[in-house]
Chains A and B, each alone.
Chain A
Amino acid sequence: MRNVRLGIRDGLVFGAVFLFVVLVGLYGAFAANSLLGVRVPNMIFALFGIWVGAYVMRSVRRQGSQLTDGVVAALVAGVTMTLLLALFTFWASRVNLRDIFANMTPEVVALLTFDRGVPTGLVFQVVGGALLAVAGALGNVAWDRIRLPEGATETGNRLASFLLVLYVIVGGFTALLFALGQWGPALRDIAEGALGFALPNDLYRILRIGAVVLIVGYLGGIALTLAAPAQAVRLKERLTTTRRLFGLAFILLALFFPLSLGSYWNQVLTTIGIFVMMGLGLNVVVGFAGLLDLGYVAFFAIGAYTYAFLNSPKYGLDLSFWVSLPIAMAVAALAGIILGVPVLRMRGDYLAIVTLGFGEIIRLIMNNQVELTGGAQGILQIQPPEILGLVINTPLRFYYLIFIGAVLVAFVTARLNNSRIGRAWIAMREDEDVAQAMGINTVNYKLLAFATGAAFAGLAGLIFAARQRNIFPADFGLLVSIEALSLIIIGGMGSIPGVIAGAVALKGLPELLRALQEYRLLIYGALLVVMMLVRPEGLLPSRRRAREIHEAMEEIEIDESELQSTA
């Protein structure tokens, strides 16, 4: 009986989530796509069915109940979930719901009923849901049965590390080969000249496909290993070398890969690069010093507008990019200090709101000071940078400029983090009062964090303005701050690889899946919540930060009881 109730409850929750996916329009968004001959919406349906079954089975087994009980509960959950869906589908087919729910088009109703009309389609839903849930429940049991035994042996561990290192080397090498796509013909000539005979074309194709497979598998493997639970700690320790190799492979990839891409993808890469820079800067403020800044876009905007003032013919100063660069960074840093002074004594949440207000104020000023900033019409005709006569005006050239900038920023932040300053920030983040008692001048270090972060954002803004050529206040909305914050939180606060991974995931993936582009913010919001609930330290966290968060969560309970007894 208890299991049936659990099944109904979980079925309702999953049903509500499913309904949400349908209402938001994600279900219908993929109507035209199919994967391996199955339409994506039907796959979503199957996924939910299997998921609810597996989930219910897992909770039932945790309570130590029988497998048959689990299957029954899963069946109940599957039926409950789909009944909820069927009820809604029925309603949507009878009444025109589009006035309320913009996405409940007849096409979506047809999708939900598998093109079989209302009574039949609803039966399909419920029966299908029940079967899938049972399959999911059985799958959950099977998964555990085939899992490898916990705690691998020493040899096994060593073998795994060896394979990983091998994989990294091979992966890096093939990545390089793949990246050389554009230079392929030249390389081919060399190779064939040395061999003295022509190699078949298919070989090159196979090599390239193989390289893609390897890169994807390689990145996925690393991500999985790093994200693995505590049992894999030993492996993680061994990963330090692997990580270095991985970093090297990543840099090689980042250096050569864009050569084989078209200008659209290079443009995407420059956007990612700009966000990497912003993320690294924000990481100094939020990740290292623990000051939650929601108005970070203000410094980005200040950098961009400073360059526009100094360079655009509108103002007649006509300073070059390289002269403007230190000025823009200095102005942004100064703005960081100006914002920093009044908020010195504020903590956590107040700081967030005040910085948010600061960002909005900057944007409003840009929007309304028409004589100065051109208002909503923005500033036009900003000149691109030039190096030794080479004008940087294509996405590829910008990519390399941004790459260099991002590497420099990453280097500086990494050095800062490992310095006396970085340790002072950590101390401040962990406990401000104690840090102060230890003789750390929190005022100076806070201002330093604000100024450093702001300077990097200013640099990103400068490059952004140079790339866009025309800038408008609309480019500097709150959204940019939120995106920068999301990427460092999802990537892992305080961790430089995390920031890069976050930027690639958040700015790059929506470009790959165009249908998701519209739902980007919805997904960011959901990701922020889910990450905080499940893995508050982020995907690739710095080890210290991860420990901090978990310790805080576990120890507060003890701390308070101690306080009670001593008070």
Chain B
Amino acid sequence: MTIKATRRARTLPDFTTLILWGLGGISLLVILYRIFVVLTTQEELTATIWGFQLVNGLVLGGVYALIALGYTLVYGILFMINFAHGEVMMLGAYAGYFTLTYLNARGFMETNPILTLVITFVAGMLVSMLAGITLERVAYRPLRRAPRLVPLITAIGASIFLQNAALRIFGSKLRVYVKPSVIEGGFRLGESGIFVPRTGVLIFVTSILLMIGLYLLVQYTKLGKAMRAVAEDKDTAALMGIDVDRVIVQTFMLGSLLAGAAGVMLGFHNSQVNAFIGFIPGIKAFTAAVLGGIGNIPGAMFGGFFLGLAESLGPTALGIPSQYKDVIAFSLLVLVLIFRPTGLLGEVLSEKRA
């Protein structure tokens, strides 16, 4: 190539950056204008509606945050997107459903509603954990040294495989989650009368507790220290006497446990399970993880709640049909990746990894 071409190559990225920032600025203005119009013209948007969407967003955010943590943990260590993470969650949701149905049929649920909830969560988490470990062992471990495209395709394959396996094994009939009496219905909050479903409270509180637990585990236990070390540098960690393979399995275990809990929560939230509930929430949770900065644990929590709120408040604020909530999530992902690839919470990964 000639010198001229080389010079063009140097200036062109700047040019595209300029265009991108221009587009970003314009879209931001359009969005703000749209919100302004909706807020000033739509009289029927009362505080009750906003409150309801807010509660909904927080609940959904909790679920997204839990799934996002699984992505972040795995990505932080292996630098791969575990596409099948959503399916791991789906299996947990199924396990929760079967446990719940069984306990209900035995009459155990009526006498011990709280214990039933605990058992359901534990069952979902354990099954997801088993699924996650198996996945790592069978599909990902042999490919640890392969070019990055290879494990990624494997993960996509595993995701399709698990989806369709669940569809064939459990059949396509509707599976409705029964709710123990304690989380049936809801209550109104204060004078404004914002309706808060009890399921929502359960999901929110449980997700917060699990997140605190995870944070403490990663910060203050030996396992957490080992995980952080492996995420920093696998080879040096191995030299320091850390069994890298074991830490990776344990990371998958942790992520899958959280996914299992999220699956049960999603089951309660949507009142039903099927084989395809994992895929889209999985992708969105990944979006959440990227939003907060992938590999960053508080970031994933923040991103989850941010995305949940954006998704439930967004359509109302922009005055568009709620079918477009997926569009909002994906657009957010694209925007963050363009303008702040390290996520909203800042630098965790270097350019090489991102």
Do A and B come from the same complex?
yes
* B147: chain A residues within 8 A (beta carbon): 548-549, 552-553
User: Which of A79-87, A112-120, A309-317, A520-528 is the contact stretch?
Assistant: A520-528
Q: Tell which of A360, A485, A525, A533 has the most Cβ of chain B within 10 Å.
A: A525
Taken residue by residue from 525 to 536, chain A's Cβ proximity to chain B (1 for < 8 Å, 0 otherwise) reads as 111110111001
The smallest C-beta distance from A424 to any residue of chain B, in angstroms, reads 10
Return 10 A-B CB contacts under 8 Å, by A number. Answer: A24-B168, A103-B168, A346-B341, A349-B81, A354-B337, A357-B333, A441-B12, A524-B160, A528-B158, A548-B147
Q: Is the interface of B mostly helix, strand, loop or mixed?
A: helix
Residue of B nearest to A551 (CB): B147
User: Which of A131-139, A245-253, A267-275, A556-564 is the contact stretch?
Assistant: A556-564
Instruction: Evaluate contact between B168 and A522: CB separation under 8 angstroms.
Output: yes
Instruction: Evaluate contact between A364 and B327: CB separation under 8 angstroms.
Output: yes
Instruction: Evaluate contact between A533 and B168: CB separation under 8 angstroms.
Output: no
Taken residue by residue from 336 to 354, chain B's Cβ proximity to chain A (1 for < 8 Å, 0 otherwise) reads as 0110010000000000001
The smallest C-beta distance from A145 to any residue of chain B, in angstroms, reads 31
Q: How many residues of B contact A (CB 8 A)?
A: 63
Residue of A nearest to B333 (CB): A357
* A436: chain B residues within 8 A (beta carbon): 9
* A519: chain B residues within 8 A (beta carbon): 164, 168
Contact with B80, one of A349, A486, A533, A553 (Cβ below 8 angstroms)? A349
Instruction: Evaluate contact between A341 and B19: CB separation under 8 angstroms.
Output: yes
* B139: chain A residues within 8 A (beta carbon): 529, 533
* B143: chain A residues within 8 A (beta carbon): 532-533
Residue of B nearest to A534 (CB): B142
- A352 in contact (CB, < 8 A): yes
- B246 in contact (CB, < 8 A): no
Contact with A439, one of B5, B19, B146, B150 (Cβ below 8 angstroms)? B5
- B241 in contact (CB, < 8 A): no
Q: Tell which of A20, A345, A524 has the most Cβ of chain B within 10 Å.
A: A345
* B20: chain A residues within 8 A (beta carbon): 341-342
- A358 in contact (CB, < 8 A): yes
The smallest C-beta distance from B314 to any residue of chain A, in angstroms, reads 14
Instruction: Evaluate contact between B16 and A443: CB separation under 8 angstroms.
Output: yes
Q: Given the known A-B contacts A367-B323, A519-B168, are A528 and B235 also in contact in the complex, defined by CB atoms under 8 Å?
A: no
Query: Which B residues, 151 to 176, have Cβ-Cβ distances below 8 Å to chain A?
Result: 151-154, 156-165, 168-173
How distant is the Cα of A101 from the Cα of B338 in the complex, in angstroms?
45
Residue of B nearest to A478 (CB): B279
Q: Given the known A-B contacts A341-B16, A346-B337, A353-B333, are A482 and B168 also in contact in the complex, defined by CB atoms under 8 Å?
A: no
The smallest C-beta distance from B256 to any residue of chain A, in angstroms, reads 18
- A193 in contact (CB, < 8 A): no
- A356 in contact (CB, < 8 A): yes
Instruction: Evaluate contact between A529 and B157: CB separation under 8 angstroms.
Output: yes
Q: Given the known A-B contacts A364-B324, A533-B143, A549-B150, are A354 and B161 also in contact in the complex, defined by CB atoms under 8 Å?
A: no
- B283 in contact (CB, < 8 A): yes
- B6 in contact (CB, < 8 A): yes
* B283: chain A residues within 8 A (beta carbon): 353, 356-357
- A290 in contact (CB, < 8 A): yes
Q: Is the interface of A mostly helix, strand, loop or mixed?
A: helix
* B98: chain A residues within 8 A (beta carbon): 100
- B33 in contact (CB, < 8 A): no
Instruction: Evaluate contact between B149 and A354: CB separation under 8 angstroms.
Output: no
Q: Given the known A-B contacts A292-B152, A357-B333, A439-B6, are A101 and B169 also in contact in the complex, defined by CB atoms under 8 Å?
A: yes
* A344: chain B residues within 8 A (beta carbon): 16
- B148 in contact (CB, < 8 A): yes
How distant is the Cα of A349 from the Cα of B156 in the complex, in angstroms?
11
Q: How many residues of A contact B (CB 8 A)?
A: 65
Query: Which A residues, 1 to 46, have Cβ-Cβ distances below 8 Å to chain B?
Result: 20, 23-25
How distant is the Cα of A154 from the Cα of B311 in the complex, in angstroms?
69
Contact with A533, one of B154, B321, B326, B333 (Cβ below 8 angstroms)? B154
How distant is the Cα of A345 from the Cα of B338 in the complex, in angstroms?
8
The smallest C-beta distance from B315 to any residue of chain A, in angstroms, reads 11
* A402: chain B residues within 8 A (beta carbon): none
Query: Which A residues, 461 to 519, have Cβ-Cβ distances below 8 Å to chain B?
Result: 482, 485-486, 489, 518-519
Contact with A290, one of B149, B168, B323 (Cβ below 8 angstroms)? B149
Instruction: Evaluate contact between B337 and A553: CB separation under 8 angstroms.
Output: no
How distant is the Cα of A343 from the Cα of B143 in the complex, in angstroms?
26
Instruction: Evaluate contact between B162 and A525: CB separation under 8 angstroms.
Output: yes
How distant is the Cα of A522 from the Cα of B165 in the complex, in angstroms?
6
Top 8 closest A-B pairs, CB basis?
A528-B157, A102-B171, A525-B161, A357-B330, A525-B160, A522-B164, A529-B157, A532-B154
* A341: chain B residues within 8 A (beta carbon): 16, 19-20
Q: Tell which of B12, B326, B337 has the most Cβ of chain A within 10 Å.
A: B337
Instruction: Evaluate contact between A553 and B164: CB separation under 8 angstroms.
Output: no
Residue of A nearest to B151 (CB): A532
Query: Which B residues, 298 to 346, have Cβ-Cβ distances below 8 Å to chain A?
Result: 321, 323-324, 326-327, 329-331, 333-334, 337-338, 341
- A294 in contact (CB, < 8 A): yes
How distant is the Cα of A31 from the Cα of B6 in the complex, in angstroms?
66
